[in-house]
């Protein structure tokens, strides 16, 4: 059904979140399967804690911008870890901030769908209980400024892919973590 909603989200060849590496300040470059291993090891290290997994993206303001998309794992009340992948399109220009914002959200949704599928398969194979939640995508839009006109569109796009949106000021994965690497 997701293919009917957004065909761009499921095409592996055209999906820039497939392949490549994520960056983590402690572990360096990791493939997505290694990111999942690190996240599960982190959750397993203190099973009494609750963990929140969140995805968000930002972009630089050039005509050919970078899109850092981040996976953040928060150990509630105790900090967390992040994994970041920079995506850029050499032959594609973004002529407006609106195009960039929509691409940020699409990349977040693409990664979230792929990550959720792989994470759930890995957890199923381990036959353990993990105390975590993965339901939020952070979007770099808010009630103030020009992006306020995009809230319904962005919220609908995120919800249409099975996730709950958070916008600024609650969208810290997009507006702080990913923004730092834009």
Domain boundaries, the chain: 2-180
Tell me the three state secondary structure of residue 146: helix
pLDDT of residue 9: 45
**Residue 132, pLDDT above cutoff 80:** yes
Helix (H) or strand (E) holding 25: none
With cut-offs at 50, 70 and 90, classify the pLDDT of residue 62. Answer: confident
pLDDT of residue 127: 81
pTM, to two decimals: 0.90
DSSP string of 81-118, one letter each residue: EEEEEEEE-TT----SHHHHHHHHHHHHHHHHHHHHHH
Mean pLDDT, residues 85-99 taken together? 91
Q: Which residues pair with 67 in a beta bridge?
A: 87
Q: Give 143-169 pLDDT, tens digit per residue.
A: 999 999 999 999 999 999 999 999 999
CA 58 to chain centre: 10
With cut-offs at 50, 70 and 90, classify the pLDDT of residue 61. Answer: confident
């Amino acid at each position: 059904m997701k293919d009917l909603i957004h065909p761009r989200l499921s095409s592996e060849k055209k999906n820039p979140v497939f392949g490549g590496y994520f960056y983590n300040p402690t572990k360096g470059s990791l493939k997505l399967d290694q990111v999942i291993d690190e996240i599960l090891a982190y959750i397993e290290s203190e099973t009494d804690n609750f963990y929140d997994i969140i995805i968000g993206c930002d972009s630089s303001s050039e005509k050919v911008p970078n899109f850092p998309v981040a996976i953040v794992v928060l150990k509630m009340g105790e900090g967390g870890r992040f994994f970041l992948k920079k995506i850029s399109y050499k032959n594609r220009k973004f002529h407006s901030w609106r195009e960039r914002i929509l691409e940020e959200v699409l990349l977040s949704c693409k990664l979230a769908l792929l990550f959720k599928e792989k994470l759930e398969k890995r957890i199923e194979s381990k036959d353990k209980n993990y105390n975590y939640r993965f339901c939020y995508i952070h979007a770099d839009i808010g009630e103030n400024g020009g992006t306020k006109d995009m809230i319904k569109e962005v919220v609908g796009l995120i919800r249409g892919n099975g996730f709950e949106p958070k916008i600024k000021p609650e969208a810290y994965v997009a507006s702080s973590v990913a923004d730092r690497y834009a």
